[in-house]
Structure 1
C-alpha cells in the first residue's frame, strides 16, 4: 500500500484528479470535462453541481482503492471566480463566468466612490480587468443580484470552495485573494478599505497560507491554491537564487518572486500585475496571450503553405534562416513592441507572400513572438537581471523560441523545464509537511539549458 496525496486540479477545460506518492511521482490520474450550463442571465458557466458530485465520487474511488492510503488532500483551481454560500453553507448562485461583461454604469459609480481608477488599481496591483477582478464580482452581486447578495454568508474563491466541499470550513487564502482581485491593498498588505465600506463581509474572511491544512477524518486537507501560483511552487521549493519563470500555455506568464517594487502606471497598462505567493509575499507577473496567438497563426500558415497543422512541430531551429530574415525583413524589437491586454503579435502585419517556405515564415513568426516575450519578461525584472530564467509549458519544447530567448537574454542562464502536472504538484508540495518527509529537489524539474 502506497501513502499518497490526492490533488484535484480543476481547470476551465479539464478537471483532473491525481495522486502523488511520497517521492512526488504521479501514481494515479484521471480527467473529465463537463459541458457548460447557463447561469440566470443565460450566459455560459461551469456546472457546480456536476463538479461537486464528481469530486466526491472520485475521492471515494481512490479512498477505497486497496493500493493507496490517503495522507493528504489539496486542490489547485482557476482564479477570478467566486462561489457564494448561504447561511446553511449551500451554494446560492451559479459560478458566474469571469468573462461576463462588467456594466459600464456600475464602473462609473465605483469610480465616483473610489477613484480615480488609476490610483485604485495601482494600490491593488492589478490592471482594470472588469469581472476578472473578482472583487468587482462582489460589487456587481450587491447591486445587480440583490436577493442573492442579501442571502450570501460567504463568498469563496474557487480553489477554497473546492476545499470547502470536503472540509466544510470556509476560508480565504493568499494566492487567491492576491491575484488581480482588486481586493488586496498591496501598499498596506491587507484587504482594501472599499470592501468594508460596501459591507462586503462575505468576501472578507481572514487569509491563511496555502500550506496550512485542517484535519478531517484523519486526513490533512489543504485550503486550495490558485493554479498559476501553484505552478511556481516547485521552483520556489528548490531554487534559492533569484530567478524568473516564464510559464507558457494559452497565456505566457512571466513571474518574478524576487521583485517587490511598486508597480508603475506604464507597467499596469502593459498587463503587469502583482500577486501573492503561497507564503503571502508579493510576486511580480506580466502576461502575453502568446499561446492563443500561436494557435491562430498556425492555422493561417498551415492553410497558406498547404501543410498539416502539426507540421510546425517538425521545424528545427535554423540560424541561417534567422540571418537571412534579419537582412531582408524589418524586425520587431522589444523596445518598440506593443504590450497590453490581448495585443496582437507584430506578425499579423506581415504579408505571407514575402516568405519562400513554411519554415521561413514560421521562423519569422517566432522571432516576432519572442520580441514581444522579451519586452513582457523585462517588465518583471526590477533592478536586477535574474541569473536564471526557466521556461515551462508548450513553448519550452519549441527550439526556435528557446534559442531566440537565450540569445536575447544572453546575461542569464536559460533553461527549458519539464515539470509534469506543475500546478497539481505545487498543491501537493505546499502541504508536504503533513504527508511526506522526503525532500523535493531540482532533479524533478528536468532542466535543459540553452546556450
Structure 2
C-alpha cells in the first residue's frame, strides 16, 4: 500500500508518495500564490487545487496510491457551504485595519484560557475570523462549516467536513487546552454550530476516484504540520524529547515544559497533539528570517564562511519578521559588510542562536530532534549540538518529518504498519569561538526580557 501526502506549507507545497517501509517513492513541489482580492491578500485556491489534483492523479495512476493525506501550515481557516468557499482563504500575513483591530481585539480570550498569545497579523486565526466577520458577515452566515486549512483540503479532495484537534489547538484563540473544548470566543460569536464533528487526524473521511483508475481512493483527515512532525518521532518510542521543526516557521515543541513557564510575550504557547494533549511550544519565523538575512541564498553554505563570520564578529540581531521571542526590536546585521556566502553563514548562525535561545526558554533538557528544510546537510543540528554539549541531538533521516508523521497517521488509521526510519545521531561542529559569539550575541540585546530569562538555561 502507498499513500500520497499533500504537505501544504506557506512558502512551498509538496506531494510525497510514501510506501509502508517509510521510503519516499515520488515527490512534486510548487509554491502557493497569494493575490489581492476585495481588499485582502488571499490564496489563489484554484491554482493550488489544480496542482494538487493533478499531482494526486499522477500519483494514483503511476504509484498505486490508495489514500490521500494532508499536512498543513497553521493560522489559516476556510468558510464553506455545501459546495464551495463562501470567501477566499485569507493570507495570515496581513494586519486588520487599526479601526477594526480596536473593535475585535478586546473580544480575544485571556492567555490563561487558550494559551494562545496575542500575536500580530493573522498568527491567531481566530483574530482573522473576527476581522472577516466584521467586513463580510454574509461569508459567515452563508457558511455551513468552518474548517481548518488541512481539513479544507481533505474536504476539497472528496472528504466530508470535519474538525481536528491539533489544528484547532494551534494558537487559534478557538481552543481551551485544559478544558479540551472550544474557547469562550467560539460560543460568544455563535460559531460552535458551524464547527463540524471531530475526527482524529488520519481517519478516513471519504473516498473518490482520480484519473482513469477504477479504484476508489481513501481521503484521510488532515493534520497540523508541526504536530505531525512531533507525532512522527513520538510514535517511535524515543523517550522524552523536544522537536525542532523547521520551515517558514521554526517551531520548538517540548511536551515536558511546565505550562507555568510559558510567557505569552515571547511567542510561547500551547499546541495540542493529535490526541488532544497540551504541548508547550515556542516559535519564530526562522525560514523567513533566513531568507531575509541571507539575501535569498540557495544551496550549501561553505564551512569556511561560517568560521569567517565567527572570527569577524559578523552577526544578525533579531528580529527580521513578526512574532518570535524577541519581537520588540528590529533586525540588523553588525560587524561589517559580509560577502554573499558570509551573509548565508550569518543567517544560519542567527537561526542556530535563536533555536538555542528557544530551547532555554522552553526548558529543554531532554533529547532534541532537528527536522525540516533548514537542516539541509545537518549543519544547523551540528551547530546546536556544539552550542549545547550537555544534550543529545538527533536529526530526521529525511527532511520531511511533517509529511512522514502525516503518512504514519494515515497508515495507522487503516491498521497498517508504517516503518519510518529512526532519526540519526548528530555530529557537533567544531567551529572556533562559537560559545563566545553566542554570549556576545545575547549581550547585544540583554535588556530584552527573553535573553535575560534564558541566561540560566541548559547548555
Q: Aligned partners of 1:329 and 1:56: how far apart in 2?
A: 46
Q: How does 1:246-285 map to 2 (within 5 A)?
A: 246-259=244-257, 261-262=259-260, 264=262, 267-285=263-281
Q: CA deviation at 1:4?
A: 1.0
Q: 1:240 to 1:105 in 2, by over 3 A?
A: same
Is residue 43 of structure 2 the alignment partner of residue 46 of structure 1?
A: yes
Is residue 428 of structure 2 the alignment partner of residue 450 of structure 1?
A: yes
Q: CA deviation at 1:431?
A: 1.8
**Larger Rg over CA atoms:** 1
Q: Aligned partners of 1:330 and 1:77: how far apart in 2?
A: 33
Q: CA deviation at 1:136?
A: 1.9
Q: How does 1:99-248 map to 2 (within 5 A)?
A: 99-112=93-106, 114=107, 120-129=110-119, 130-201=121-192, 203-216=194-207, 219-248=217-246
Q: Aligned partners of 2:281 and 2:382: how far apart in 1?
A: 23
Is residue 361 of structure 2 the alignment partner of residue 379 of structure 1?
A: yes
1:63-115 CA distances to partner (integer Å, 9 max, x unpaired)? Answer: 344x51x33221112221122112x3322111121122223334333454x4x
Q: 1:197 to 1:62 in 2, by over 3 A?
A: same
Q: Report how many aligned residue pairs link the two structures.
A: 416
SS at match of 1:195: helix
Q: CA deviation at 1:272?
A: 1.2
The one of 303, 321, 325 equivalent to 1:315 is: 303
Give the gaps of 5 or more residues in structure 1.
301-308
SS at match of 1:293: helix
Q: Provide the TM-score with structure 2 as the length reference.
A: 0.79
Q: CA deviation at 1:223?
A: 1.0
Give yes or no for contact 1:122–1:263 (8 Å, CA) kept in 2: no
1:338-382 CA distances to partner (integer Å, 9 max, x unpaired)? Answer: 93338556xx352316x8x88888777655554432221222226
Q: CA deviation at 1:195?
A: 1.4
Aligned to 2:389: 410
Aligned to 2:321: none
Q: How does 1:290-301 map to 2 (within 5 A)?
A: 290-299=286-295
Aligned to 2:334: 350
Give yes or no for contact 1:239–1:442 (8 Å, CA) kept in 2: no
Q: CA deviation at 1:134?
A: 1.2
Give yes or no for contact 2:159–2:219 (8 Å, CA) kept in 1: no
Q: 1:166 to 1:121 in 2, by over 3 A?
A: same
Q: Aligned partners of 2:147 and 2:335: how far apart in 1?
A: 48
SS at match of 2:368: strand
Is residue 398 of structure 2 the alignment partner of residue 431 of structure 1?
A: no
Q: How does 1:47-62 map to 2 (within 5 A)?
A: 47-62=44-59
